[in-house]
Chains A and B, each alone.
Chain A
Amino acid sequence: RKEVEQDPGPFNVPEGATVAFNCTYSNSASQSFFWYRQDCRKEPKLLMSVYSSGNEDGRFTAQLNRASQYISLLIRDSKLSDSATYLCVSNYGGATNKLIFGTGTLLAVQP
Chain B
Amino acid sequence: DAGVIQSPRHEVTEMGQEVTLRCKPISGHDYLFWYRQTMMRGLELLIYFNNNVPIDDSGMPEDRFSAKMPNASFSTLKIQPSEPRDSAVYFCASSLPSGVGPGELFFGEGSRLTVL
Binding site for B on A (CB under 8 A): 31-32, 34, 36, 42-46, 87, 91, 95-104
Contacts and interface: CB of A to CB of B under 8 A. Distances in A.
Interface stretch (B20-28, B62-70, B74-82, B93-101): B93-101
A36 B95 CA distance: 14
B51 to A, nearest CB: 12
Contacts of A46: 104-105
B91 to A, nearest CB: 6
Contacts of B48: 97-98
Contacts of A36: 105
B112 to A, nearest CB: 9
B43 interface: yes
Contact of A100 (B31, B45, B109, B110): B45
Contacts, number: 56
Contact of A95 (B42, B56, B100, B110): B100
B45 A98 contact: yes
Nearest to B104: A46
Interface size class of B (residues with CB under 8 A): 20 to 34
B55 interface: yes
A99 B56 contact: no
Nearest to B38: A103
A42 B112 CA distance: 11
A99 B110 contact: no
A102 B42 contact: yes
A45 B56 contact: no
A87 B103 CA distance: 16
Nearest to A32: B101
Interface in B1-47: 31, 33, 35, 41-43, 45
Given A43-B91, A87-B43, A95 B101 contact: yes
B104 A32 contact: no
A45 B109 CA distance: 11
22 contacts: A36-B105, A42-B109, A43-B110, A44-B91, A44-B107, A45-B107, A46-B104, A87-B42, A95-B101, A96-B101, A96-B102, A97-B31, A97-B48, A97-B95, A97-B101, A98-B55, A99-B33, A99-B45, A101-B35, A103-B42, A103-B43, A104-B42
